[in-house]
Amino acid sequence: MKQSKIVVDTPSRQAWRRLRKNPGALIGMIVLTTMIFMAVAAPLITPFSPTVQILEYSVKPAGFSGKILYKKNSANPDQPSIIAVESFSEVGDSVHYTDPAGQPYVIPTSMLQGANKDEWSAEPTFLLGTDRFGRDMFTRLVYGMRISLSVGLISESIALIIGIILGSLAGYFRGGVDDVIMWLVNVVWSFPTILLVVAFSVILGKGYWQTFVAIGISSWVDIARIVRGQFFSIREQEYIEATRAMGFGTVRTIFRHMLPNAAGPIIVLATAGFATAIIAEASLSFIGLGVQPPTPSWGQMIKDGYGYIALGTNWGMTLFPSIAMAIAVISLNLFGDGLRDAFDPKTSQR
Amino acid sequence: MAKNSQSRIVALLLTVFNPRKLFYTVLVLLGVIIVTFFIRPPGDPARVLLGQRADSASVQNMRVQLGLDKPLYTQIGMYIYNIVRHGDLGKSIATQRSVRETIEERLPATALLAVSSILIATILGVILGVIASWRANSWVDSLTMSTSLLGISLPAFVVGLLFVLVFGVVLEWFPNSGYIDRGWEHLVLPMVTLAIRPLSIIARVTRSSMLDVLGQDYVRTARAKGLSSIRVFMKHALRNALNPVVTTVSAWFAGLLAGTYFIEFIFNWPGIGLAAFSAIEKLDYPMIQGVVLLTAIVFVIVNAASDVIYSLLDPKVRVS
């Protein structure tokens, strides 16, 4: 017998319907999806490696294009070394070229990577210019997106795990457990998040994972609070009494019956936390903690460009990563606002 | 009659100095100090400070000097005792000066920046929020709300850099860095930069709170009585809409302090944040501890104070 599918109008389905009608949230979602795709496909859509330096072409403005030759790299055949040239010409089995400083050189064609002129020479355009080490800004921006998005994802996951566990324990058991956990919550809450992130970065040291962990363990407080609050009211509902009557264990009750009913506010907070994490990482990198060079990160790039702003040269080095970050954070905020309205239409802003 | 006023005073005192809340605040402060104690570089701080090539004798010396040779609980105990008894935050490793002295010396600069910013943010934020709610869904409203979304989304240091670029470098209206000892115009850029984020949030909170209140029955009643709409707006609505705004402002103060430190770093403003962030490079952890601790304590006190103000204003919250 064929089973007919019963469509239940669940709260999440209603929320999704409301979300679809919110233009801001949709724009945010589209931009975020695009960013995720760009971050994943970074090697395919960027012309260079994020760490490749062409020192002769350092601090060039957006749209700059310069000739380069690819020289064989015996240490790493997949990544040829790059020679910046002003001009070049093929003479017999060697190439004569002048570098940007005007010095003439001769190099045998056999030392260049590739079989013909189209393979060993190129004239790439640096869409957003280059940085202090002649690295392509566009490439680094896209790779920086990887860092920012993974910071958001991993740090927020850490925060969610800690926040949900502590919040549910406090909300479910109340009494002494609640008192102890709330004391911890209030202690951590007394530190501004960004300062706590800085403090944990000093404790854990600089680096990739340290940054993720430092941000994660600094941002669980709001989640713990909201989960606890939700649990206080959910605990009194009849269906929770029913789980007790049926003899369900604590863990099963919490994870199968209470958490799903508190999911809406948690998702909303997590989205906001995602944006905060991106800002926190950039702030950390800006003061010299956080993800360390040569790994590209937006905060790092903004910091690098900062020195050039005062000189009034090449603003793009600061402007482009700032814009990228603003777009990411605004999209997250729009999406988060939409989610909040979708999950709780009562509090929506008119 | 006299008895009545006496019991009133007792009730008032109990509200302000609620023993339970006071005790709890002390417990939280204790936790804050313990957390701050652990802000130190990973591994052996003495080794980190002296570098990998230092001989073991001088490392041992440094350990004794920093009190690291004692067991952990003694160290924590000493740390708490020194802070509570003498207000002693230790000595900066880089400058060998008392951290407390450095902080006392630099606090006025930070306070000036933070207080002037929150004032500007509150005044402008409330005005903008009220205007936006006055003509809800008009172009003024949309413009204010979308600009404030931008203000919320950009971290203070990015706004700061953009302001430096536009007003400092391109237009040359205001100086890029430096303190007010070289003229008050040095305050403008850091103050405005710092105010952007709280201003955006206050404007949004004011607007939504105003819209909430405007939908209430008593506002409708006031309108029905024939009061002029501007009077209803200012006297009946705004007054009641300000409560959440007060909460937001006080809750934002500590966050603003942390933001201040980044702004000080960008504008070379000689406050405690600049001292702390410069200390990070040298891993001068007592200096970092001092600034972090001070910020947290300010936050706890501001919160406790706003709690008291709240309960004094709202009879429902007052202890019975």
Closest by CA to A332, choosing from A246, A259, A274, A286, is A274
Minimum-distance CB partner of B165 among A183, A315, A333: A315
The pLDDT, as a whole number, for residue A346 is 57
**Least Cα separation, residue A162 to chain B (angstroms):** 17
In a domain, A25, yes or no: yes
**A242 occurs within a structural domain:** yes
What type of residue sits at position B261?
Y
B38 chain-A contacts, CB cut-off 8 A: 203
Interval B122-147 mean pLDDT: 84
The per-residue pLDDT for A70 is 78
Identify whether residues A238 and A326 lie together within a single domain.
yes
In this prediction, residue B135 carries a pLDDT of 77
User: Torsion-angle region of residue B31: left (phi > 0), alpha (psi -120 to 50) or beta?
Assistant: alpha
Residue B311's pLDDT is what?
A: 72
A70 Cβ contact partners less than 8 Å away, ≥ 6 residues apart: A80, A81, A82, A83, A112, A113, A114, A119, A120, A121, A122
Percentage of chain B modeled with pLDDT above 70: 94
| Average pLDDT along chain B | 81
The whole-number average pLDDT for the span B221-233 is: 76
Could you give the C-alpha distances from A118 to A98, A279, A340, B85, B308, in angstroms and in order? 18, 43, 54, 76, 76
Answer whether A205 sits within 8 Å of B299, measured CB to CB: no
Answer yes or no: are the C-beta atoms of A24 and A334 closer than 8 Å: yes
**Confidence class of residue B314 from pLDDT cuts 50, 70 and 90?**
low
Residue B315 has pLDDT above 60, yes or no: no
Does residue A226 share a domain with residue A98?
A: no
Tell me the residue range of the domain where A256 lies.
12-40+136-347
Residues from chain A that touch B261, judged by Cβ atoms under 8 A, are 195
**Which residue, among A31, A151, A191, would best test binding to B if mutated, counting the most B CBs under 10 Å from its CB?**
A191
DSSP string, A30-79: HHHHHHHHHHHTHHHH-SS-TT---GGGTTPPTTEE-EEEEEP-SS-TTS
Average pLDDT for B226-242: 75
Chain B: residue whose CA lies nearest to A24: B146
**3-state helix, strand and coil shares in percent for chain B, rounded to the nearest 5:** 80, 0, 20
Helix (H, G, I), strand (E, B) or coil at A90: strand
Out of B38, B150, B266, whose CB is closest to A203?
A: B38
pLDDT of residue A348: 45
d(CA A32, CA B150): 17
- Residues A164, A227: contact at Cβ < 8 Å? yes
Last residue of one domain, picked from the residues A123, A157, A189: A123
Structure letter (DSSP) for residue A6 = P
Q: Is A7 part of a structural domain of the chain?
A: no
- Same structural domain, A214 and A82: no
Spans of chain A below 70 pLDDT = 1-5, 310-313, 345-350
What is the model's pLDDT at position B30?
Answer: 92
pLDDT at B320 over 80: no
pLDDT in tens, B272-286: 888 888 888 888 888
Residue of A nearest to B32 (CA): A187
Q: Domain ends where: A123, A152, A170?
A: A123
* pLDDT on residue A183: 94
Which CATH number applies to B93-313? 1.10.3720.10
CA B56 to chain centre: 43
Counted domains in chain A: 2
Tens of pLDDT, residue by residue over B154-164, are 777 788 888 88
User: Are residues A198 and A274 both part of a single domain?
Assistant: yes
pLDDT of residue B287 exceeding 80, the answer is: yes
From the list A187, A192, A330, which residue is nearest B257 (CB)?
A192
Residues A112 and A149 in one domain: no
pLDDT of residue B282: 81
Q: Do residues A97 and A119 share a domain?
A: yes
Q: What is the mean pLDDT of residues B6-20?
A: 75
How distant, in Å, are the alpha carbons of A239, A242, A250, A331 from that of A247?
Answer: 13, 9, 9, 45
Answer whether B157 sits within 8 Å of A309, measured CB to CB. Answer: no
Tell me the pLDDT band of B32, cut-offs 50, 70 and 90. very high
The contact set of A with B (CB < 8 A) is 183-184, 186-188, 190-195, 198-199, 202-205, 275, 279, 282-283, 286-289, 302, 306, 309-310, 312, 315, 318-319, 322, 325-326, 329-330, 333-334, 349-350
Nearest residue in chain A measured CA to CA from B254: A192
Give which of A162, A277, A163 is closest to A229, Cα–Cα. Answer: A163
Whether residue A6 is contained in a domain is answered as no
User: CA torsion, points B36, B39, B44, B47, in degrees to nearest 10?
Assistant: -120
CATH number (domain holding residue A277): 1.10.3720.10
| A257/A337 Cα distance (integer angstroms) | 26
pLDDT at A165: 93
The pLDDT value recorded for residue B167 is: 79
Q: Which residues of B touch A302 (CB under 8 A)?
A: 157-158, 161
Position A178 scores a pLDDT of 92
Residue A3's pLDDT is: 60
What pLDDT is recorded for position A158? Answer: 95
- Same-domain pairing of A218 and A102: no
Q: Which amino acid is present at A215?
A: I
pLDDT at residue A156, rounded to an integer: 93
Residues A143 and A114 placed together within one structural domain of the fold: no
pLDDT value at residue A45:
81
State residue A162's pLDDT score: 95
Question: Long-range contacts made by residues B162-167, C-beta under 8 angstroms, separation at least 24?
Answer: B162/A319, B162/A322, B163/B189, B163/B192, B163/B193, B164/A309, B164/A310, B164/B189, B164/B266, B164/B267, B165/A309, B165/A315, B165/A318, B165/A319
Rounded CA-CA distance B206/B129 in Å is 5
Residue B34 has a pLDDT of 92
| Interface touch A282/B169, C-beta < 8 Å | no
pLDDT, residue A227, reads 92
- Clarify whether residues A32 and A101 are in a common domain: no
Last residue of a domain, one of A57, A90, A123: A123
As given in the structure block, the two tokens for residue B311 are 């309960």
Residue with tokens 């020289």: A71
| A84, β-bridge pairs | A68
Domain locations along chain B: 93-313
Per-residue pLDDT, B225: 79
Tell me how far apart the alpha carbons of residues B306 and B251 are, in angstroms, rounded to a whole number.
9
Q: Using DSSP, how many helices (H) and how many strands (E) does chain A show?
A: 14, 8
Torsion angle, alpha carbons of A198, A200, A202, A204, to 10: -140
- % of chain B at pLDDT higher than 90: 7
- pLDDT band, residue B43 (cuts 50/70/90): confident
